[in-house]
Amino acid sequence: GQQVMQIPQYQHVQEGEDFTTYCNSSTTLSNIQWYKQRPGGHPVFLIQLVKSGEVKKQKRLTFQFGEAKKNSSLHITATQTTDVGTYFCAVPDNNNDMRFGAGTRLTVKP
């Protein structure tokens, strides 16, 4: 099935600093999804990227899909304590079932 590498594993930032997590695949992806899981919570869908070079924004969050559709990033501008959680990318496998990256755990110091 699809394998996707996600980095970094952890990121600790001061409130107000920016944050970025990356997902990389060795093969071309049809699409990629991003989820957020708050501590003690469950994954919640954030966005899906489908087109080459696509950029989507949700308030302070910017999602990008690479031109070759092999990598993607999630960037948060001016982090807030409410951004705390683990961010996962997810890609479809050969059966069209979603497989999750390892996740990036974000902590924010007020």
Q: Which residues bind another protein (CB under 8 A)?
A: 30-31, 33, 35, 41-45, 48, 50, 88, 90-93, 95-103, 105
DSSP class per residue in the chain: ---EEEE-SEEEEETT--EEEEEEESS--S-EEEEEE-TTS-EEEEEEE-STT-EEEETTEEEEE-TTSSEEEEEESS--GGG-EEEEEEEE-TTS-EEE---EEEEEE-
In the complex, the smallest distance separating the C-beta of residue 38 from another protein, rounded to whole angstroms, is 11
Measured from the CB atom, is 90 or 106 closer to another protein?
A: 90
In the complex, the smallest distance separating the C-beta of residue 78 from another protein, rounded to whole angstroms, is 26
